[in-house]
Each structure stands twice: as C-alpha cells, then as structure tokens.
Amino acid sequence: MSEPRDPVMASGPHGPVTTSEPRDLVVVGAGPAGMAAAATALDGGLRVVLVDSGAAPGGQFWRHPPLHAQGTLPTAGLHHGLRTYRALRATLSAHRRTGRLTLLLNHHVWTTAREDDGFTVHAVDRTRAPEERPVVLRAPALLVATGAYDRQLPFPGWDLPGVLTAGGLQSLLKGGGVVTGRRVVLGGTGPFLLPVAAALAARGAEVVAVCEAAAPSAWLRHPVPLLRNPAKWAEAARYGGTLARHRVPVRTRTAIVGAEGEQGRVAVVRTASLDVDGSPLPGTERRIEADTVGVGWGFVPQLDLLLPLGCDLADAGDGTMATAVDDGQRTTVPGLYTAGETCGVGGAALAVSEGRVAAVSVLTDLSAPGLPNARRLAAERAAVARHRAFARAMAQAHPLPPAWPAWLTDDTPVCRCEEVTAGAVRSAHADDAASDHRQVKQLTRAGMGWCQGRMCGPAVHCLVSARDQPYVPAERLIATPVTLGALADSGETTSDHT
C-alpha cells in the first residue's frame, strides 16, 4: 500500500510559502522525534517552523520516496509504526492549512546561534538544487531532533565499492525502493541488522549471512527491561520469522574481518568467530562470495548543531556521548531542547515520546495555554523511562568488541576522505602521544576531509583513547557543506526570509 498523496505536505515547485510572522519554536529534523514534538507544540497553540533536509517528512526511520514518486514506489511494507506516522502527518497537515506550521523541506541547516532572547537558525534551501537560497529563522525556543548515523569500524577492504553502511542499505530501500546487491552479507552488532536483513530478503536479495558480533545470550543478562517492552519482542519475532522464511543464517559471535575486491568491487567477505574480547579465533575464518556488504556497529548521535551552542553532554552508555537533558528534554542551555537519538540512541518509539515530552516543556516554558493533561504527560514520561531502560540493555548486550583493532593491518585506511591509514594513526599515538581524535586529526589529517570525521571519528577514538572513555564528537561549526556564495548572500539577508 502506498502513501496517499498529500498535497498539503508538498513544498511545491517554487519553494515553501512562508510568512514573516513571528514563530515560537523552530524544530530541526522531521523524523519521529521532530514530527511528534512539532505536532504537540502546534496542538498546544504554538507557531512552529519544522525544518528538514529531506524531500519528505519522516526522517531516516520513516524515510519515504520523494512525494512525486510515492505512488509508483510502494514502501509501506518496509515500515513500522506507520499508524503513528500517519497520525502525525495528519496533525501537521491540519496545522499547515491554518498557517501555524511552516514546513521547510530540502532545507539544510548549517549553523545555529544564540541571539538576544532566542536562537537564529541558518539554513540553505536546496529545493532547486544546485541553487542554494539562504534562509535565516528566529525563534525564542529551538528543538534539535537531528537523530543519529551509522557507527562504522574499519576493516581491510571496507573502502571497496559495494561496502555500505547498514543504514545506507535501508535508506536506499525506503527512500527509493532500491535493493542494493544480489548476494548481501550484513555485519556489525545491534538489533538494527535484523530489520535490514528482513527487508532486503523480502525484496528479493539473497542475504547470505548476518554476522552479529554479540553472543546470543547477551540479551538474557538484562531480562527486566526486555520483559517490560513486549512490543520489542514481537518486533524481533517478526524479523525472525522473515529471516527463517528466507533461510537467512544469523551467525552470532561472528564479525566481518575483511573484504576482497575483484574488478573494482567487493567480491569476497572474510568472516571469523570472535573470542570473548572480540579477537578473531584462529581457524574459524570463512570466505563468503558477495557483491554487497552492509555494516553497522550501532549509531552515533548527530550533535553537530547542539555542540556549538554549548550544551552539556552525558555518557550514553554505548560508547558515545549524547546530549544531557532533564526529564523534560531541556538541555543545559536555556530555550534549547532535544529529543530522540541526540539524547542517546534508542529507536523511534522512544523518539516520539521524547518529542512529545520536549514539546510540553516548550509549552510550559513559554507559558502557552494548551498543555496536555497531567495523566498523558505522566504516561509519556513513563514510556520514555521504559524505552530508555531497554536502549541501555541493548547497548550493553551489543558492545563494540574491545579487540576489533586487531582486524586492522597498518595499511588499512581509517579516514577514507584523507586516506589516513591505521598505521599513521597508531604512530601519532605512539610518537606524539596523541590521545584523542582531535589531536590525531591535527597530526595526520584523519577527519579533515569531506565527512569531517563523522565516519572515522569513533574508530580513531577507539584506536587512541582509553578503553572506557566514550566518544565525544568533534565540534563542527559548519553542520553541512554550504557554498561560499550562499554564505556571502546570507550575510546580506538581514531579516527573516519571506
């Protein structure tokens, strides 16, 4: 079943129609958290701008083809929680008709700043790409719901064409109906590998193996959060059913430790069983023919807009830092809120609940009239607590194998943009005592290229930092590449765009 065409959500050929009316809240990111937050804030009477870089609302989890292609690319079977998605879309559409919601799609936010009693949000409109039109938004409150992205660990051959992130495979499928590859091997750790494997198998790819680094018994060490989230069991059982139907083998305590190419593309994947600390067990290596590899080691919160605003971080418990928030999703910066994966990776249901809780805080702090009743709020907060406990249990059950650097040879590229090898990173550590990824970047250029360390940062961190230290991402003052011409023009944009 395809999504019904919803003209109210379309941005139209001439860019979004916006007004220069004052807004109460800017929400960056129209994924589960951002949509839920915007809907609740609008229902409470606020005027909201919802900004997203994508061509349709939904974020990564509810990624959809561009609006014009949704009729010909059925993707409903790939999604979960579509009832929530449709309800949120309906709410947003209704508020857009009254003019209280401004939905800005194809808008890429490159920075935010505190100003007077609020925030400025600086974006470029790429509706008519490659043209970039600068847009400056102002509001007293800012809610950042920018999600997370795949955490990658390098291995020999990971830079071959045909090696993708698990999240990349999923978004090609959801966003364009593209099944990448005919023989696919998935590897890494975490519950996300299963839906990707199930979706690819259901769409006709031969998923030759799913290599899960964790032990199958790991979940059982945290029974309480699991038992309190029966919906997660049902979801896992559904994936299990799909994988069994398509005879997809799931190998636990196994990792992809190398890939080899042929004619400029991945052809063979090397897997190995792992020791307790993650070292490959001698004699267990297998060679599997494959044309596509999807790898995911969990996710890293996308904090690029939050860090420069100066908010405190907290250990997310999965090897990364996330934004520190109070029980109302307030950051330590007054007027700045965040919800979803930016507070620690935990999935879409958690993101929706956090989005709603965050919006209630905005309503409260701005003394808006339309607060939801206390019982509903208490229920959302309970849902947040339950899902957070589940996410923590998942993170503990799916750690990064401590000995993964043993897979690397000295010539394995770690930073692909600047072609910096594991050997170069190791000698920066040994010879110049570099003990964080920032210092390694200064000495080797790892993380100085196009992706600015978004891909290699966590890996470099693991190679040079103490084992128990979570990854603190580099501060990136420019959240997305933007042309100097658009910036030059933006300087001349003195008022809110109209």
Shortest gap between Cβ of 308 and other proteins (angstroms)?
5
Site string for other proteins, 108-127 (x = CB under 8 A): ---xxxx-----x-x-----
- Counting residues that bind other proteins (by CB under 8 A) gives 38
Which of 348, 303, 339, 384 minimizes the C-alpha distance to 145?
339
Contact 320, 300 (CB under 8 A): yes
* Size of the chain, expressed as the number of residues it contains: 498
Residue numbers 165-194 binding other proteins by CB under 8 A: none
Given the complex with other proteins, which of 91 and 444 has the nearer CB atom? 444
Options 12-20, 174-182, 284-292, 444-452: segment touching other proteins (CB under 8 A): 444-452
Which of 147, 149, 176, 164 minimizes the C-alpha distance to 78?
176
Query: Taking CB under 8 A as the rule, does residue 431 contact other proteins?
Result: yes
Interface residue with other proteins, options 442, 469, 496, 497 (CB under 8 A): 442
Which of 340, 335, 395 minimizes the C-alpha distance to 366?
335
Query: Taking CB under 8 A as the rule, does residue 433 contact other proteins?
Result: yes
Shortest gap between Cβ of 452 and other proteins (angstroms)?
6
Alpha-carbon distance of 459 to 463, in angstroms, equals 6
Shortest gap between Cβ of 237 and other proteins (angstroms)?
44
Query: Taking CB under 8 A as the rule, does residue 332 contact other proteins?
Result: no
Residue numbers 465-484 binding other proteins by CB under 8 A: 476-478, 481-484
Shortest gap between Cβ of 10 and other proteins (angstroms)?
28
Query: Taking CB under 8 A as the rule, does residue 432 contact other proteins?
Result: yes
Site string for other proteins, 291-310 (x = CB under 8 A): -----------------xxx
Shortest gap between Cβ of 118 and other proteins (angstroms)?
14
Q: Judge residue 403's burial from the number of C-beta atoms within 10 Å of its C-beta, 0-12 exposed, 13-18 middle, 19 or more buried.
A: middle
Residue whose pair of structure tokens reads 């996300």 in the numeric block:
192
CA distances from 289 to 199, 260, 381 (A): 21, 10, 47
Contact 74, 2 (CB under 8 A): yes
Report the C-alpha dihedral over residues 119, 136, 147, 140, rounded to 10 degrees: 20
Given the complex with other proteins, which of 269 and 464 has the nearer CB atom? 464
Q: Judge residue 244's burial from the number of C-beta atoms within 10 Å of its C-beta, 0-12 exposed, 13-18 middle, 19 or more buried.
A: exposed
Q: Which residues bind other proteins (CB under 8 A)?
A: 111-114, 120, 122, 308-310, 418, 431-436, 438-439, 442-443, 445, 448-450, 452, 476-478, 481-485, 487-488, 490-492
